[in-house]
Amino acid sequence: MHFVWMGFLKSAEPIDQEVQLQISEFLQQPYIPIDAAGVLRDGRGERAGYLVIFDAEDRAAAEALVRESPLRAAGLYSEFHLFEYQNEVG
């Protein structure tokens, strides 16, 4: 199953280098294939959040991945959402 996880940041301030390193390591974990991941930018080009598209066996596995996020652990999200994703193009 495909999932999309969108997290919106509390602030556009730069993220601590240690958290950035943890994010990079997190995205390279070998257990759940991540198809795409990147920064969401607002109309001014400032960092507003993150989007991750990934495959998981089921919603419980997807939720487990989201729980492990360094951004969540650091308390940087104002909100985040997890959706099942069905590709209709490509």
pLDDT digit string, tens, across residues 51-87: 999 999 999 999 999 988 898 889 999 999 999 999 8
End-to-end CA distance of the chain: 16
Q: What is the 3-state secondary structure (H, E, C) of 1-22?
A: CEEEEEEEECCCCCCCHHHHHH
pTM of the predicted model over 0.75: yes
Domain ranges of the chain: 2-85
> 34 - beta bridge partners?
54
How far is residue 63's CA from residue 1's CA, in Å, rounded to a whole number? 13
State which fold the 2-85 domain adopts.
Alpha-Beta Plaits (3.30.70)
